[in-house]
Structure 1
Amino acid sequence: MTTADLSSSVPYREVTDHNGRLYRIGETDRDIMGRPRWTMVLFPWLGMLGISSSEYAFTSAEDTLHEAHLWDSGHIFWLMGVWVFFQAAVAFPAGQLRESGRLPARYAMFLGALGTILGYLSLAYAPHVVVAYIGFGMFSGIGAGLVYATCVNMVGKWYPERKGGKTGMVNGGFAYGSVPFVFLFTSYMNLGNYEGVLVMVGLICCAVVAFAGWFFKDPPKGWWPAHVDPLRLSDDPKIRRALAKNPPAVKQYSPKEAARTPVLWMMWFCLLCTAGINIFGIAFQVPFGKDMGFAGGIVATAMSLKAIVNGTGRGVIGWISDRFGRRNTLVIVCLVLGSAQFGVLVSGSMGSMPFFLFCSMVSGFGGGAIFPLFAAMTADYFGENNNASNYGMVYSSKLISGLVGSGMGAVVVGAWDYEGAFVIAGSIGIASAFLALFLRAPGRPRPQRRIVPNPQPLGEEMA
């Protein structure tokens, strides 16, 4: 039995709306877990901080790892691609285990903490690159996937009426936590201390994830906050506007039902494209900046700014999407992300450091904003009860985007240089904006076009 199925002595009632969707109302957050629900934004945010360095700071350690282990530089990018592959691969099965009750949220976080420390230990002491692929690529990737899926879906369950901003804030932790480690790996870690630095980082991240996970608890299925009536317009203008722009799903879709809707696979492909661009930027911004002649400190600053804006973008874009709608916001984000790739290329070719930093930040904003948008949109379209599994299916596109953005990105750079790679990335981003225009919630009738009255009613035409 999971915490979502525990009975409560507090009276509650179940109501249905005109679509037949069921809501469980009457219980407050304190009734269920003894504390306010904003703590289920704070602790998931901390959990995301703990896994962020593995993706966003990893390529900053490229030079040291290459010299220390004598690995070919291509291995660094493929290691990241394998990490992203397993991080995305575990999302759907983890969601299934979570929703079936076989993997409580707390234990998922503990397993994620274990995978995090194993990843850094393998980078520090791997006798062969294969050990790094297993320890960092597989174990750390799986651990990060468990943490990511648990944190993102947890906050959506506790804030079903206004999930955009809260989901974005939690998602932002996936970038913020890497900032100090970017400078640490770039400016301080060297051949004399890399083992100690990697172990220290692994222990810190492991402890943060485990601490946050201790406080995790799911609400009951179908739970709705007691102060918000799902059948009436809310008196709170923020809640009313958010629900008007992003109405709740018409029903709680099971994974099988969601998989039969075309829109889920359109979302899958759109995330594949945009996540691939984001990972490409993470993997190649540092080496591109160095090849363009920028100093190591400038490149590290650019990468840190990218991570900061990436995290900020995730939080801000969730708030914006609550006000203006997820799909409309996603279209703009895709345009920004695609255009930024051309800007990074042009700024590097010009040797303009301020322009390079600006385009890097814009790229980071767009790359970070897509993930909370898709997480919240999945719950809007298919409901919160099975969101871990449904978002796991959408997020599984990162299986391919990680390998394409990092590993295949290295192949494209080798074949067509940075110019060809950035042009391709920018074009894909703009094409994704066009695809996003066709995303609509399944089962919800399209708004009817306004009927214009006939200026000559019947009878007058014959007069």
Structure 2
Amino acid sequence: MVFLPWIAMMAISSSEYAFSSTDETLSEAHGWHGAHIFWLLGVWVLFQAAVAFPTGKLRESGRLSARAAMLCGAVGTVLGYLALAYAPNVIVAYIGFSVLGGTGAGMVYATCVNMVGKWYPERKGGKTGFVNGGFAYGSVPFIFIFTNYMDTSNYGGTLTWIGFLLAAFVAVTGIFFRDPPKNWWPVHVDPLKVADDPRVRRSLSKNPPAVKQYTPREAARTPVLYLMWFCLLMTAGVNIFGIAFQVPFGKEMGFAGGIVALAMSLKAVVNGTGRGVIGWISDRFGRRQTLTIVCVILGLAQFAVYLSGSIGNMPLFLLASMISGFGGGAIFPLFAAMTADYFGENNNASNYGMVYSSKLVSGLVGSGLGAVVVAAWGYGGAFVLAGCIGLFTGILSLLLKQPGRGSRAAEAEAVPMTRATVA
């Protein structure tokens, strides 16, 4: 329940992280102008995030099994690629790729991320980060394929075989998915006592379990949920802006296509591997403390990307791209694990779905409105704005506190963290 979700996450990653590498080919082949390309990605992100909460509710109610969710995701994956390959007009592309493809990816994402957190409640940061990382670096081979191989003569066949291949990975891995029982903890860990394992003891001291198992309605009554939502909105918007505009920015600055593809690939690799590393770090030093540092890194990296590109410094451009990828990827496992830390594991799919729904807006802001800002202020104004947003979010993150911790009334209502084991 770690490696299978990881493989499935890699399979859906190219739709987001490699999409900007298809912009020139799709524009030339279909006659879609640049704004449509960026809005296609923005609407895809919107639907990918929109299904997180309903998928979580259906999963937790028992009306949607993990296997069924993954099979639906596989269908959406292949339909999205077929739409890009054969859509007779841009409206069909929006429906096929952005709506159906985004919905399928969202079901896979929500199922994989929340499942691994349930199986590893005592060390959810590192495990969640590892699985979440597949959502970025799984796109690396496709960035090179879309940039260096695919053109107007072969784009239909290329997108078709890639779509069926990735859908097969999602479907086959999903067949073996299963959830742990409610309130499940590993038999060697007692969350109510100090663990014998020093790694677990350190993790639980820095990230104590939730005071109670919050239902979505109870979580929605806490101000911290909305602050988490807003912080994720800001940081995810900056991350998506970088994904959408780094390739066209690099090309406009005069870098060769191979260099731009390499920069984007390094960004995706560090984006993904950074999720696992940052999850492990947050287990040791605390989720909120780690989040603040990541937001600052993400903000500063936007200034570095623009500066290095504007002066034509290729090594610095590659380094800045990697740092930006690290910061942009690290935020997602941090918020996923923090949601379980703050509100408990039993309803984590629904609770994280509410937090993750901020990506509904961040996708449109980072990709769609990002295109508007670039057109009005140029790349310089857009990257400076993105950097300032990252730094501002770092300040806001200092206000994140676990609900009920230190409150006698809340702790008195706490649902005991019992340990159920698999029969």
Normalization by structure 2: what TM-score? 0.96
Deviation at 1:81, TM superposition (A): 0.2
Q: Establish whether residue 311 from structure 1 lines up as the match of residue 272 from structure 2.
A: yes
Tell me which residue corresponds to 1:146.
107
Tell me which residue corresponds to 2:194.
233
**Distance between the aligned counterparts of 1:242 and 1:191, measured in 2?**
52
Tell me which residue corresponds to 1:386.
347
Q: Establish whether residue 374 from structure 1 lines up as the match of residue 335 from structure 2.
A: yes
Tell me which residue corresponds to 1:104.
65
Mapping of 1:346-365 within 5 angstroms?
346-365=307-326
Tell me which residue corresponds to 1:322.
283
- 1:181-203: CA deviations, max 9, x gaps? 00000000011110010001101
Q: Secondary structure at the match of 1:346?
A: helix
**Distance between the aligned counterparts of 2:10 and 2:309, measured in 1?**
30
Q: Establish whether residue 418 from structure 1 lines up as the match of residue 401 from structure 2.
A: no
Tell me which residue corresponds to 2:42.
81
- 1:87-110: CA deviations, max 9, x gaps? 000001111101001111110000
List alignment gaps of at least 5 residues for structure 1.
Answer: 1-39, 447-463
Deviation at 1:60, TM superposition (A): 0.2
Bigger Cα Rg: 1
Q: Establish whether residue 260 from structure 1 lines up as the match of residue 209 from structure 2.
A: no
Tell me which residue corresponds to 2:183.
222
Percent of aligned pairs with the same amino acid: 74
Q: 2:392 aligns with which of 424, 427, 431?
A: 431
- 1:126-147: CA deviations, max 9, x gaps? 0000000000000000000000
List alignment gaps of at least 5 residues for structure 2.
Answer: 408-423
**Distance between the aligned counterparts of 2:170 and 2:383, measured in 1?**
35
Tell me which residue corresponds to 2:421.
none
Q: 1:55 aligns with which of 16, 23, 36?
A: 16
**Partners of 2:272 and 2:329 within 8 A in 1:** yes
Deviation at 1:344, TM superposition (A): 0.4
- 1:265-322: CA deviations, max 9, x gaps? 0000000000000000000000000000000000000000000000011000000000
Tell me which residue corresponds to 1:457.
none
- 1:387-420: CA deviations, max 9, x gaps? 0000000000000000000000000000000000
Deviation at 1:230, TM superposition (A): 2.1
Of stretches 395-404 and 227-236 in structure 1, the one that deviates more from structure 2 is: 227-236
Q: Secondary structure at the match of 1:343?
A: helix
**Distance between the aligned counterparts of 2:73 and 2:378, measured in 1?**
37
Structure 1 runs of 4+ with >6 Å offset:
none
RMSD (CA atoms)? 0.9
Q: Establish whether residue 164 from structure 1 lines up as the match of residue 125 from structure 2.
A: yes
Q: Secondary structure at the match of 2:189?
A: coil
Tell me which residue corresponds to 1:23.
none
Q: Establish whether residue 128 from structure 1 lines up as the match of residue 63 from structure 2.
A: no
Tell me which residue corresponds to 1:445.
406
**Distance between the aligned counterparts of 1:341 and 1:271, measured in 2?**
17
**Distance between the aligned counterparts of 2:37 and 2:191, measured in 1?**
50
Deviation at 1:261, TM superposition (A): 0.2
Number of residues of Structure 1 aligned to a counterpart in Structure 2: 408
Tell me which residue corresponds to 1:276.
237
Deviation at 1:204, TM superposition (A): 1.0
Amino acid across the alignment from 1:347: S
Deviation at 1:377, TM superposition (A): 0.1
Deviation at 1:231, TM superposition (A): 2.3
Q: Secondary structure at the match of 1:302?
A: helix
**Distance between the aligned counterparts of 1:327 and 1:229, measured in 2?**
24
**Distance between the aligned counterparts of 1:200 and 1:317, measured in 2?**
34
- 1:11-30: CA deviations, max 9, x gaps? xxxxxxxxxxxxxxxxxxxx
Q: Establish whether residue 340 from structure 1 lines up as the match of residue 340 from structure 2.
A: no
